[in-house]
């Protein structure tokens, strides 16, 4: 589904150049729920932004659904973002002037007219994630957890190949965080969604099938979940501790 090979990305600040990603490579399979963890500055969000084509990268290859992203022009990249990727931001990024139903439908609206079936799908997704009762409300009128669930529904409206989520529980309390993670699991189980999530939260990551640990722009280690969620969370915490000591 997603192949990342020898990915490099650097930022320039004045005369200084900072290498953030140093030749990262990995693969995410269809229907897999993968998390990326690592300390601040390890390159997690940069990696996610490169995959989602939000920022250009220096070198390397990203293949999504068998299509190479490097070298695409702006128009093609926009189409990829719209149809192949669903993105969930840490701070939801809902449009304040639109209702929740309209927000969920935005990726369809930017394609052109919204057919009736898309509206039905929006309603179904909302019902699936427990936000059916707030579809006609505006973002300012609902809670953070509801906003994030609406954002997840929005990311699924075009039936994308992959959902990319940047710290989706970062701004939420534990109850809302759990509800959001459950929406991901639900999406994975019901529509076989592939999810790639950046997080700091070991609890959220423990729901994933696999966790990639990043350190200083390279992959430090990858952990797969074979056992119970809580055991996997302990393994994660041990690995993170080990990473911070090396």
Partner 1 sequence: MGQVINMRQMEQKLQRADRKQSRLYLFCNFMALMIISAYSALMLSPTVQKVFPEGGDSRKQMYMIFVMTLLGCVVFTIYALGLFFRHKSRQLGVLMALGASRKRLAPGLYREVILLSGVSAILGTAAGFPFVWGIWHAFRLFLVDSSDMVLTFDFRCLFISLLFLLLVVGFAGLTAWRYLKKTNIMEVIREEHINEPVKELGRWCGPVGFLVLLTGAVLGYGAPLACDKWFSMFPPVWVSVFYAPVFVGLYMIMLHTVVHGWKSHRKNPYKNIISRSMMKFQGKQTVNNLLVVTLLIAGGCFAVFYLPTNGISAVLRYASLPYDYFYKYQADQDMPDRTEIEALGREYDLSLKDWNECDYVTVGMGGMAKIYEEDGLRYHIEYVPMQQEAMVLSEDAYQMITGQEVDVEPGTYWCLNDKAETSLYVNDSAKEITNMTTRKVLATEFAGFLHYDHLAETIPCCVLDNADYALISEGLTDDWRGRFVAFNVDGKDSYPFANAFFRLFVSSFDESCERPSYYDRVQKIRENEEGKEYWGDTDDMTTIRYEMADSFMFRNFWVYMPSFRILSQNDYLRNMAVMFMMFLFIFIVCMITALVVCYTRCQSIALNNRYIFDDLKKLGASPVFLDREVHSQCGNVFKVPSMVGTTAMFLLFSMILYANDGRMLKTEWMAMGVCLCIIAAIGGVIYAVYRSSVRAIKAQLQI
106 is a contact residue toward partner 1 (CB under 8 A): yes
Strands (E), 118-217: 162-166, 195-198, 210-215
Residues numbered 54-93 forming contacts with partner 1, rule: CB under 8 A: 54-56, 74-75, 78-83, 85, 87, 89, 93
Interaction pattern, residues 1-40, with partner 1; x per rule: CB under 8 A: ----------------------------------------
State the minimum distance, in angstroms, from the CB of residue 180 to partner 1: 18
Taking a C-beta distance cutoff of 8 angstroms, is the pair 152, 146 a contact?
no
Interaction pattern, residues 135-154, with partner 1; x per rule: CB under 8 A: -------------------x
Count of residues binding partner 1 (CB under 8 A)? 36
Among 110, 127, 191, 231, binds partner 1 (CB under 8 A): 110
64-98 residues labelled b (16+ CB within 10 A) or e (exposed): bbeeebeeeeeeeeeebbbebbbbbbbebebeeee
Decide: residue 8, CB within 10 A, 0-12 exposed, 13-18 middle, 19+ buried: middle
Which element (helix H / strand E) includes 175? Answer: helix 174-191
Give the C-alpha separation, 229 to 208, whole Å: 9
Q: Which residues contact partner 1 by CB under 8 A?
A: 49, 52-56, 74-75, 78-83, 85, 87, 89, 93, 95-98, 101-102, 105-107, 109-114, 119, 154, 158
């Amino acid at each position: 589904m997603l192949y990342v090979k020898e990915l490099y990305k650097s930022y320039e600040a004045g005369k200084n150049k900072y290498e953030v990603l140093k030749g990262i490579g990995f693969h995410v399979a269809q229907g897999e729920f993968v998390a990326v963890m690592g300390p601040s500055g390890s390159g997690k969000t940069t990696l996610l932004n490169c995959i989602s084509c939000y920022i250009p990268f220096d070198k390397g290859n990203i293949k999504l659904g068998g299509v190479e992203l490097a070298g695409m022009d702006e128009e093609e990249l926009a189409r990829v973002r719209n149809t192949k990727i669903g993105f969930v931001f840490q701070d939801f990024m809902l449009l304040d002037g639109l209702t929740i139903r309209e927000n969920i439908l935005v990726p369809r609206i930017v394609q052109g007219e919204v057919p009736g079936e898309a509206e039905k799908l929006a309603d179904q997704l909302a019902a699936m994630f427990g936000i059916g009762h707030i579809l006609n409300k505006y973002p300012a009128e609902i809670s953070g957890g509801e906003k994030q669930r609406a954002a997840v529904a929005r990311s699924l409206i075009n039936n994308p190949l992959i959902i990319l989520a940047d710290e989706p529980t970062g701004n939420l309390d534990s109850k809302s965080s759990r509800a959001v993670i459950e929406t991901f699991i639900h999406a994975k189980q019901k529509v076989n969604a592939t999810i790639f999530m950046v997080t700091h939260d070991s609890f959220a990551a423990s729901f994933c099938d696999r966790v990639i640990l990043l350190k200083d722009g390279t992959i430090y280690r990858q952990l797969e979940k074979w056992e119970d969620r809580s055991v996997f969370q302990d393994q994660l915490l041990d690995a993170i501790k080990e990473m911070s000591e090396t």
